[in-house]
Amino acid sequence: DGGITQSPKYLFRKEGQNVTLSCEQNLNHDAMYWYRQDPGQGLRLIYYSQIVNDFQKGDIAEGYSVSREKKESFPLTVTSAQKNPTAFYLCASTLRGQNTEAFFGQGTRLTVV
Amino acid sequence: AQSVTQLDSHVSVSEGTPVLLRCNYSSSYSPSLFWYVQHPNKGLQLLLKYTSAATLVKGINGFEAEFKKSETSFHLTKPSAHMSDAAEYFCVVSDWVSSYKLIFGSGTRLLVRP
């Protein structure tokens, strides 16, 4: 079955550490996205990528980095520069074109300890 | 520019009564509109999408949405709420012409009272 997989489901980070969240899709989608969700709030775009080896900052990119070396993979690194990283992170992918819906992973909950 | 506004942050209904979740959009071209549902600590699931083939769109779990260009609205409805409908609902517009960014509304939390 095709889908989009995020791992791990839960992640704990110590202060000052970098951590990487994995996002893999086997849907042959062109575009991939990372969103952050805080309690009681909507989704805020961190980074997105339309094609391999290209990505753009979203609304809250500071303290995060990404890569898109393969079409299937779009990992997100939460760096120590991100001062408040505790949140729920969602990855999504979509084909390019009108009326093409996005598919979402099940999310990674990151907690700073 | 694309934008979307969900008019209610919370909606509370009794089980068996109708549901209305409101969404207004702004788009420079033919909009690509979606409704998603999110249960706690889960990813988002597509409820329905507007494809321009019909103004009344039927989705999963008995939900429908009507596209009204004159009102720039895409409200989500269900004739009879079920306890399992309690969740967060997001209206989304896609910038499908240029950036392919997905623009989310702020979400509406639906509460269903027994």
Q: How confident is the model over A94-106, as a mean pLDDT?
A: 85
Question: How crowded is residue B6: how many other Cβ atoms within 10 Å of its Cβ?
Answer: 21
CB of A109 within 8 Å of a chain B CB? The answer is: yes
Determine whether the interchain pair B32/A41 forms a contact, defined as Cβ–Cβ distance below 8 Å: no
Residues of A in contact with B98 (CB under 8 A): none
At A3-21, the pLDDT tens digits run 999 999 999 989 889 999 9
Closest A-chain CA to B43: A106
Determine whether the interchain pair A90/B42 forms a contact, defined as Cβ–Cβ distance below 8 Å: no
Closest A-chain CA to B39: A106
CA distance B32 to B95: 7
Q: What is the dihedral of CA A92, A20, B89, A96, to 10 degrees?
A: -10
Decide: helix, strand or coil at residue A9. Answer: coil
Phi, psi (degrees; rounded to nearest 5) at B85: -80, -10
Cα B91–chain centre separation: 4
How many CA atoms does the CB half-sphere of A69 hold within 13 Å? 3
Place of tokens 């079920």: B82
Decide: helix, strand or coil at residue B84. Answer: helix
Determine whether the interchain pair B101/A102 forms a contact, defined as Cβ–Cβ distance below 8 Å: no
Percent of chain A with pLDDT over 90: 78
Place of tokens 């499908």: B96
- Sequential DSSP letters for B4-40: EEES-SEEEEETTS-EEE-EEEE-SSS-EEEEEEE-T
Residue A32 burial (C-beta neighbours within 10 Å; 0-12, 13-18, 19+) = buried
Peptide bond just before B18 cis, omega within 30 deg = no
Residues of A in contact with B29 (CB under 8 A): none
Phi, psi (degrees; rounded to nearest 5) at B98: -125, -75
> Tens digit of pLDDT per residue, chain B (114 long)?
788 999 999 999 999 999 999 999 998 777 889 999 999 888 899 999 998 778 899 999 999 999 999 999 999 999 999 999 999 999 999 877 777 788 899 999 999 999
Please give the DSSP secondary-structure letter assigned to residue B79.
S
For chain A, the residue count is 113
The reported pLDDT for the residue numbered A1 is 64
Residue A44 burial (C-beta neighbours within 10 Å; 0-12, 13-18, 19+) = middle
CA distance A29 to A71: 8
